[in-house]
Amino acid sequence: MSIRINEETLDPKDWKAMRALGHQMVDDMMTYLETLRGRPVWQQIPEKVRRNLKKPLPMKPQGAKRAYQDFIENVLPHPMGNIHPRFWGWVEGTGTPFCMLAEMLAAGMNPDLGAGDHVANYVEAQVLDWLKEMLGYPAEASGLLVSGGSMANLTGLTVARNTMAEFDVRQHGLQASRKMIFYGSTETHSSLQKAVELLGLGSDSLRTIPVNGQFQMDIEALETAISEDESEGYQPIAVIGNAGTVNTGAFDNLNALADICAREELWFHVDAAFGAWAALSPKLRHLVSGIERADSLAFDLHKWMYMPFELGCALVRRKKDQLQTFALTPDYLARAKGGISGGPVWYSEYGFQCSRGFRALKAWMSIKEHGIWKYGRLVQQNVDQARYLAELVDAAPELERVAPVPLNIVCFRFAANELDNAALDELNSEILLQLQESGVAVLSSTMIKGKYALRVAITNHRSRREDFELLVREVIRLGNILVQSRKNPKNE
């Protein structure tokens, strides 16, 4: 009937060759992961590689094989290092070989979990149910898998803002509203400040409450702040509890916060980005007591659940609140009684994204692979490693621990007696740099009560005790060398 024209596709002409390339990739990546420990954690990227990554836009095809070759030469050898056993910088994740494969499956199926009746949405529902069960959160709560803790916190705070407002924020905006106040401790993660800024509330709206010696929110100070704000004519909206702060791994007294929220009729949001997973270990579970009382809850799976980026989750106690905040159904997304436009849940109605990838699959597959008890043992293992490192630090006269270790984060510094704080800050930042540049270990830094601290955050299923022993030896060795070179400066 029609004239046959020569239609093109992005599928390979030679499927056999693409298959062979896939096999090659699996082999290369498995070897890469199996031999990780023998390589430096991190290395400076050579100038040549930087230049190779500033190439003109390719107009003509290079082909799959050549593109992969380029990856092997320029990309794979220069990783961040966070999958290495001795990476403990910031709070990062590691991923697993099976999750890596699961991401391939997800990208092959490539469904859109924003809309439609298809299996991926049931997988996400299953994962959400499991997560609620893991955290003791009500089974009837709603939720959404999101890109990470920032989006999870944003999701929770948006529902809080819209639900608690005295008027319809979605329609009218904040322009005529009273100042809405959110409360969090001084240790609250920056994503919460970014969230209140994005939401149009202004960082002025985030009241930061001081902490006690355990880096927990000062409950009395919170109560005072709430009553002061009320007498100023502001509207207190929500208290943000921390379950595992980013600086020191501290837990707020979640039950005390929940009590205040109940009494004052405030929203209770918990940022449990990585601390949520204390729930999986019988010895640690008490730390998250009260988390099940949160009105909204944010946490990651791509960090302390060791899954690849990006995978966070927001849970909301009352489904109605979440839907009223996010559901919007234009004509072209109309639901139908059956067919692909049917189905029980359209996740685009539960959050900000419209199209959504199949991030649920890696969670579903790896929870099945390992079972939850094993995750609990690994979380406990990381906490035991943190305590072990704290013991090593405490036993070493050259080292000073600068914060308690309630969970998996150890903050310490090399502290030679004869140096003042400014000199120690400089010396420790040099130790940090040399550790990184030698490829021995990656830590990050933070400031604890005015002191520059080396910060070790352990969310790594590949770390072993011997790795922390090596770390302590190296910090002492580098510290001593640096102190010596201060005393005997060359060429002076």
Chain positions 252 to 291 lying near a second copy, rule: CB under 8 A, are none
Site for a second copy in 449-478 (CB under 8 A): 455, 461-462, 464-466, 469
Pattern 303-342, a second copy, x by CB under 8 A:
x--x-xxx---------------x-xxxxxxx-xxxxxx-
Of 128 and 258, CB closest to a second copy: 128
Binding segment toward a second copy, per CB under 8 A, in 137-145, 250-258, 436-444, 477-485:
436-444
Question: Which of 449, 388, 457, 452 is CA-nearest to residue 414?
Answer: 452
Residue found by looking up tokens 């099940």 in the block: 292
Give residue 163's Cα distance to chain centre. Answer: 26
The β-bridge partners of 414 are 399
429 contacts a second copy (rule: CB under 8 A) = yes
Query: How many Å apart are CA 335 and CA 323, to the nearest integer?
Result: 15
Helix axis angle for 319-326 and 149-164, nearest 10°, is: 90
Query: Considering the complex, what minimum distance in angstroms separates the CB of residue 481 from a second copy?
Result: 17
Q: Which of 261, 279, 367, 407 binds a second copy (CB under 8 A)?
A: 367
- Applying CB under 8 A, the site for a second copy has a residue count of 191
Distances, alpha carbon 343 to alpha carbons 115, 189, 338, 485, in Å = 9, 37, 7, 69
Of 216 and 366, CB closest to a second copy: 366
Binding segment toward a second copy, per CB under 8 A, in 136-144, 171-179, 223-231, 420-428:
171-179
Of 39 and 259, CB closest to a second copy: 39
DSSP 58: P
Query: Considering the complex, what minimum distance in angstroms separates the CB of residue 488 from a second copy?
Result: 24
Question: Which of 188, 106, 125 is CA-nearest to residue 357?
Answer: 106
Query: How many Å apart are CA 153 and CA 147, to the nearest integer?
Result: 11
Query: How many Å apart are CA 302 and CA 274, to the nearest integer?
Result: 9
**Secondary structure tally for the chain: helices H, strands E:** 15, 11
Of 42 and 268, CB closest to a second copy: 42
- Return the structure tokens found at 297: 């809850």
Q: Which of 68, 215, 412, 414 binds a second copy (CB under 8 A)?
A: 68
38 contacts a second copy (rule: CB under 8 A) = no
Of 32 and 260, CB closest to a second copy: 32
- Return the structure tokens found at 219: 């409950």
Binding segment toward a second copy, per CB under 8 A, in 136-144, 289-297, 425-433, 484-492:
425-433
Query: Considering the complex, what minimum distance in angstroms separates the CB of residue 128 from a second copy?
Result: 11
202 contacts a second copy (rule: CB under 8 A) = yes
Quick one: CA torsion of 416, 417, 422, 423, rounded to 10 degrees? Answer: -50
- Return the structure tokens found at 199: 């939401």
Query: Considering the complex, what minimum distance in angstroms separates the CB of residue 232 from a second copy?
Result: 13
> Which residues make Cβ contacts (< 8 Å) with residue 10, sequence separation at least 6?
none
Of 47 and 418, CB closest to a second copy: 47
Of 28 and 223, CB closest to a second copy: 28
∠ Cα 127 129 130 (to 5°) = 65
Query: Considering the complex, what minimum distance in angstroms separates the CB of residue 289 from a second copy?
Result: 20
Question: DSSP 3-state assignment of 411?
Answer: strand
First and final C-alpha spacing in the chain:
90
Question: Which of 113, 167, 69, 144 is CA-nearest to residue 340?
Answer: 113
42 contacts a second copy (rule: CB under 8 A) = yes
Query: Considering the complex, what minimum distance in angstroms separates the CB of residue 193 from a second copy?
Result: 6
DSSP 482: H
Site for a second copy in 107-166 (CB under 8 A): 107-112, 115-120, 122-123, 125-126, 129-130, 133-134, 147-151, 154, 158, 161
Pattern 203-242, a second copy, x by CB under 8 A:
xxx-------------------------------------
Of 167 and 485, CB closest to a second copy: 167
Query: How many Å apart are CA 406 and CA 187, to the nearest integer?
Result: 14
Of 75 and 262, CB closest to a second copy: 75
Query: Considering the complex, what minimum distance in angstroms separates the CB of residue 371 from a second copy?
Result: 4
Pattern 73-112, a second copy, x by CB under 8 A:
-xxxxxxxxxx-----xx-xxxxxxxxxxxxxxxxxxxxx
Q: Which of 209, 243, 246, 266 binds a second copy (CB under 8 A)?
A: 246
- Return the structure tokens found at 240: 């943000």
Query: Considering the complex, what minimum distance in angstroms separates the CB of residue 278 from a second copy?
Result: 17
Binding segment toward a second copy, per CB under 8 A, in 217-225, 263-271, 374-382, 475-483:
374-382
395 contacts a second copy (rule: CB under 8 A) = no
What's the number of CA atoms in the CB half-sphere (13 Å) around residue 182?
32
Query: How many Å apart are CA 182 and CA 157, to the nearest integer?
Result: 9
